[in-house]
Amino acid sequence: MSWGSLYGAGSPAVDFYDAMHAPGTLPCIDGDVEFYRAAAGRARGAVLELACGTGRVTIPLAMAGHDVTALDASAGMLRVARAKSAGLPIRFVKGDMRRFRLGRRFKLIFVTFRSFQALLTPADQRACLASVRRHLAPGGRFIVNVFDPKLEYCIHGPSPVISRYRSAVDPDTGNVCRLKVLRRVNDAVSQTLTETWRYVVRDRRGRLVCRQDRRLRLRWTYRWEMAHLFELSGLEPEACYGDFRGGGPRYGAEQIWVVKRAR
C-alpha cells in the first residue's frame, strides 16, 4: 500500500489530519458521515471500517450506538483515533486491509474517502476484496468510495496539479500547518499518480517548527473496471452513486459502490 510515506511516523499529515478534513473543507466528502451512519442503521449488526484513519467516520458511528471495529495500517493515525474516542467501545486494530483476519463477520464493511486507491495493483485490490468477502455476514454490505477519473488529469507524465493548497491550525498548540502540492506525475500504464506534498508548520510567533515533503501515490480505477473487480472477487454491485446524497453516476465525480456477496 502507498500510505506509508504520507502517514508515517512524525508526519504532519497525521497531526493535522482532522483540522484539514473538518466538515465543509472538502466538497467530495460532504455528507459521507451521514451516509455511512444511515447504512449502519440499515445493517443492524456489527460494522467494520477499513483504513479508519483518525476515526473521522468511526467515532460518529460508535456514538450512534453501533458495534464498530476499525482497522488501519498507520500507528500514528490509530494513536490519534484512540485518544479521541476514549470511553467509546471501539475495537481498533493495526493491520493491512489487503490481509486481515478478525475472527468475526460484519453486516457492514466500508472504506471511506478513496483509501481503497492506496492499493496500487489489481492483485492488491483483489486481495482486499477477498478479505472483505470472508468477513461479510449473510446479508451484509460492503461500501467503497473512489474518485471517478477525469481523463485530462490521467495523461502520462507530468500533470497539472489539482489544487490542494490548504492551511490548518492545531487547536492545542496553536501551530499553523500549510500544505502545498508541489508536483504530480502520472503513470498511465499502471494507472497510478504520484504527488509530492509539502508541509510547513510554524508556531504562534511564525517560527518554523518543521518542513517536510511527503509522497502520495494512488491508483485510479474506472467504473467498469471496479464492477469487474467485484465480479472476480465474488461480490455483486447493488448500487453506484456519484455523491453521498444518492445521486446517479457522473463523469469525474465520485464512485460510491454498495455491493453484496454474490450467490
> Could you read off the pLDDT of 58-84 as tens digits, one per residue?
999 999 999 999 999 999 999 999 999
For 179-188, the CB contacts below 8 A with 24+ separation are 179/16, 179/20, 182/213, 183/158, 184/153, 184/158, 184/159, 184/160, 185/157, 185/158, 185/159, 186/153, 186/154, 186/155, 186/156, 186/157, 186/158, 186/159, 187/156, 188/154, 188/155, 188/156
CATH code where residue 111 lies: 3.40.50.150
> Could you read off the pLDDT of 89-116 as tens digits, one per residue?
999 999 999 999 999 999 999 999 999 9
Are residues 185 and 235 located together in one domain of the fold? no
Are residues 186 and 226 located together in one domain of the fold? no
Question: Binning pLDDT at 50, 70 and 90, where does residue 197 land?
Answer: very high
Are residues 36 and 20 located together in one domain of the fold? yes
Are residues 187 and 232 located together in one domain of the fold? no
Task: Please give the residue range of the domain that contains residue 177.
Answer: 151-219
Are residues 185 and 129 located together in one domain of the fold? no
Q: Is 2's pLDDT higher than 80?
A: no
Are residues 143 and 155 located together in one domain of the fold? no
Are residues 41 and 112 located together in one domain of the fold? yes
pTM for this predicted structure: 0.96
Q: What is the rounded end-to-end Cα distance, in angstroms, of the chain?
A: 30
225 Cβ partners below 8 Å, 6+ apart?
none
Are residues 232 and 187 located together in one domain of the fold? no
CATH code where residue 175 lies: 2.20.25
61 Cβ partners below 8 Å, 6+ apart?
36, 37, 40, 47, 49, 68
pLDDT of residue 251: 97
Q: Is 185's pLDDT higher than 90?
A: yes
Are residues 123 and 201 located together in one domain of the fold? no
Number of domains in the chain: 2
